[in-house]
Amino acid sequence: MRKFDPWPIFFRREWSRNWPFLVGFAVTGTIITKMSLGFTEEDAKNSRFAQRHKK
């Protein structure tokens, strides 16, 4: 006799509830990553924020 597996039901229900958060998190992460990779050393030298937090 096969045991009942609740995981597919759980994931389907949670996906329908949480997909806006997950998609927004992915889009925001992609934008931040693209912006961060576009910075140069010259940008870091001219940034007051980077100078203040430099160790």
Residue 47 near residue 40, CB atoms below 8 Å? no
Please report the pLDDT score of residue 26 as a whole number: 97
Is residue 5 in some structural domain?
no
Is residue 15 in some structural domain?
no
Six-digit token string for 9:
């039901």
User: Cα dist. 18→11, 34, 54 in Å?
Assistant: 10, 25, 37
5-50 per-position pLDDT tens digit: 999 999 999 999 999 999 999 999 999 999 989 888 888 788 888 8
Residue 54 pLDDT > 80, yes or no?
Answer: no
Please report the pLDDT score of residue 55 as a whole number: 66
Is residue 6 in some structural domain?
no
Is residue 55 in some structural domain?
yes
pTM of the model: 0.58
**Phi and psi for 54 in degrees, rounded to 5?**
-75, 135
Residue 3 pLDDT > 80, yes or no?
Answer: yes
- Residue 51's domain comprises 21-55
What is the number of domains present in the chain? 1
